[in-house]
Amino acid sequence: MPDGYSIHGLLDALFRHTGEQVMVFDHELICRFVNKAACDYKALSEENFLGYHASTIFSPDRYETAIYGALQKALSGETVHYRIWREHHLGGQCGFDVRVEPVPDRTGQLLGALFSARDISEQIKAEERARLAMMMFEHTTEGLMMLGADQRIQVVNPAFTTLLGYSVDETLRNQPEMFVPSLANGEQPYTEVWHALEYNHSWQGEITYRRRDGRQVPTWQTMVRVRDAAGDIKHYLAILNDLTERQRFEDQVEQLVYYDILTGLPNRALLSDRISQAMARTERRNGQLAIVFLDLDRFKAINNTLGNALGDQLLRAVSDRLKQVAGSEATVSRYGADQFVILLPQINNPDQASALAHHVLDALNVPHEIGEQTLTVTASLGISVYPDDGDNREGLIQHAETAMHATKKAGRNNFRFYTQDMNQRSTEFLLLENNLRKGLQKQEFVLYYQPQIDLKTRAVIGMEALIRWQHPEFGIVPPNRFISAAEETGLIMPLGKWVIQEACKQNKAWQQAGLLFAPIAVNVSARQFGEQLESLTREALQNTGLDAHWLELEVTESTLMEDLNEAILMLGTLKHMGVHLAVDDFGTGYSSLAYLKRFPIDKLKVDRSFIIDILEDPDDAAIAGAVISLAKNLRLKVIAEGVENAAQLDFLAELGCDEIQGYWIAKPLPADQIPLFLTDWCTRNT
């Protein structure tokens, strides 16, 4: 006790100013002392307490009656201690730790009772928070672990033990590294984590754990360091999210998007990606890469004789062999039905590509055991090399494909590098008179049909016949690749004759089947537009029994303008037969309006070039509008070609166009798809 202080004085000061509420009562429960905290709490001054009986000080509510009861107990020598949580009369909730105890004198004689109440609101709130945190800890689906400053596990939650399959005891006091296998490069993932946590407050990333049963569990992990008030690291908290499901889902999506279902090989999309990556790498290293295009020989025949199921098995067997031969660096992808593309991402020398090609051919020459059958399938290969044979991936693939076709032509079961003149040769090849003639003999030409629609009624009011060359090696060849050659060589005459004949026959067949009663439109080239056309048309109608008004001939505007007088005569003869006449590609030539009036035509076809940009280009819109009103003035029908979307269609409807044709309705379709189109169209538009 310091000099000059009396214990009484010190206690008095302490009681007066402590934050705890203190009141002292004598043995008759008359208040003898009250401190500031108690006055403040009741919002009364000292005079309202001193000399008053406890029953008048405490109000008769539940909490204060309890205090009064406790005071009475204290007078019989009992200490009462309890906590309450109550409304504060100034608002809000507060918690109190209340103590009421007897006050004895030095001899043990009872003097009175001491009431003290401590505000423990903050403590209660903290406890509540801790309780909630504990609940979260127990029930969250995220794995949680708390490590000590020594990086050893101190606490884990149930989700953590479920995730890893270990019991709590098996994890405690271990370092988390124990559950994390090293990466392929020998590094322990946690090394990076600890390193990061030296400088940062937290770390996030993927860590793959090994479960007790050996399975790997990928997780997304957040790790936070926890310091104490002095700033020393006390704990590390780790939160683990199980990524297994997500990864499985991602794998599935990737499989669907990037892999071929039948063979499991990368598809075109993934191949494109890989080629782009390889090209970028090659550029940095000044190296080369090779594309090997492989097409199985006569696979269609095999498929047709053996059936699709065995065909599929064969494709799978082939893809297995290709993977084996190509090695792990290469990408073997399925490119088409029986086409594969192999990417060699890094070669020093084209010889490496030819070595692979040899290996592929050898590997395929070993017969496959498929079901009960022993099958051998050969392949034709073409190779292109980057950067020599092209600077973009489409070009490279195309060139490898061209080389493959050259291999086929030279007798199959072999390979060939792309050379510059191959491209030229492949197109030249198509254009050779001889080949056109052969194609005609072998009936390699077919007609596709594109429907024409009445804008108002949505009825199908015609079909345009469009020729295709179904080439055994080049696939479907469009007319712009061979029509001009056919015209130059004069082969357009037999070809055109076949077209009219075939179109009339087809239309008659549709009529007999009750499918369609509308004219069939046939394109007539300038070379055909002579005297022969009349006899040819007459013959076709006679041979097929089609009525003349079910046939429409399309002549281009420029054909008509070549020799105006001749054209008028020619058209007159055809018109006289009852055939409909349309002017194709209208707007691209320089029509003489004076003559146009004298042509006995029925219809103008607004050229596709005006329709493409009709919404964006005001000039195109103006021309289309002018052609449509011109047609109206001349009392001609008008049809717009190449309508590809609803917006164009609406715009043309507003301009007063009668009819349309284009991909928006249907692409040109092979004859056998027309019945389905017609039923579909009818159900959609009635």
Rounded to whole angstroms, how far apart are CA atoms 529 and 573?
12
Question: Which of 641, 657, 659, 671 contacts ligand C2E by CB under 6 A?
Answer: 641
Listed ranges 243-251, 265-273, 345-353, 523-531: which one lies at the site for Mg ion (CB under 5 A): 523-531
With CB under 6 A as the contact rule, which of the stretches 141-149, 318-326, 476-484, 543-551 interacts with ligand C2E? 476-484
Task: Check the CA dihedral 397-399-403-408 and report its sign.
Answer: positive
Kindly state whether residue 478 participates in binding ligand C2E, applying the rule CB under 6 A. yes
Least distance from C-beta 540 to ligand C2E, angstroms? 13
The CB-nearest residue to ligand C2E is 662
275 or 631: CB nearest Mg ion: 631
- b/e 637-669 (16+ beta carbons within 10 angstroms → b): bbbbbbbeeeebbebbeebebbbbbbebbbebb
302: Cβ–Cβ under 8 A, 6 or more apart, which residues?
Answer: 311, 314, 375, 377
Contact window for ligand C2E (CB under 6 A) among 228-236, 255-263, 430-438, 660-668: 660-668
Least CB distance from residue 336 to ligand C2E, whole Å? 22
β pairing state of 93-104 and 216-227:
unpaired
Q: Which residue, 401 or 585, has its beta carbon nearer to Mg ion?
A: 585
The phi, psi pair for 398, rounded to 5°, reads -60, -45
Give Cα separations from 4 to 7, 9, 10, 16 (angstroms): 10, 10, 11, 20
From the list 341-349, 362-370, 478-486, 564-572, the region that binds ligand C2E by CB under 6 A is 478-486
Query: Is 481 an interacting residue with respect to ligand C2E (CB under 6 A)?
Result: no
Q: Is 441 in the site for ligand C2E (CB under 6 A)?
A: no
Number of residues that bind Mg ion (CB under 5 A): 5
- Torsional sign, CA 154, 151, 147, 190: negative
CB of 298 to ligand C2E, least distance (A): 29
Contact 313, 371 (CB under 8 A): yes
Regarding 554 and contact with Mg ion (CB under 5 A), the answer is yes
By CB under 6 A, residue 662 contacts ligand C2E: yes
Query: Which residue lies nearer to Mg ion by CB, 288 or 537?
Result: 537
Of 123-131, 401-409, 637-645, 678-686, the segment contacting ligand C2E by CB under 6 A is 637-645
Q: List the single partner that 559 binds among Mg ion, ligand C2E, none, CB under 5 to 8 Å by kind.
A: none
Q: Does 401 bind Mg ion (CB under 5 A)?
A: no
Region of residue 324 (phi > 0: left; psi between -120 and 50: alpha; otherwise: beta): alpha
Q: One-letter amino acid identity for 679?
A: T
Total residue length of the chain? 686
Instruction: Specify the stretch interacting with ligand C2E by CB under 6 A; choose among 38-46, 331-339, 367-375, 472-480.
Output: 472-480
Residues 635-654 that bind Mg ion (CB under 5 A): 641
- Nearest CB to ligand C2E, comparing residues 102 and 662: 662
Residue 219 interacts with ligand C2E (CB under 6 A)? no
Q: Pairing state of beta strands 445-454 and 520-524? A: unpaired
Residue 552 is a binding residue for Mg ion (CB under 5 A): no
CB atoms near residue 296 (< 10 Å): 21
Out of ligand C2E, Mg ion, none, which partner does residue 596 contact, by CB within 5 to 8 A per kind?
none
The one among 20, 644, 653, 669 contacting ligand C2E by CB under 6 A:
644
Candidates 376, 316, 674; CA nearest to 516 is 674
How many C-beta neighbours within 10 Å does residue 5 have? 10
- Kind and range of the H or E element at 312? helix 308-326
Q: Where are the beta strands (DSSP E) in 200-287?
A: 202-210, 216-227, 233-242
Residue closer to Mg ion by CB (options 74, 623) is 623
Question: Which residue, chain included where needed, has tokens 């090994």?
Answer: 210
The answer to whether 62 touches 69, Cβ cutoff 8 Å, is: no
Residues near ligand C2E, by CB under 6 A: 450, 466-467, 478-480, 483, 496, 499, 523, 525, 554, 584-585, 608, 641-644, 662-663, 668
Which residues of the shown chain bind Mg ion in the complex (CB under 5 A)?
523, 554, 584-585, 641
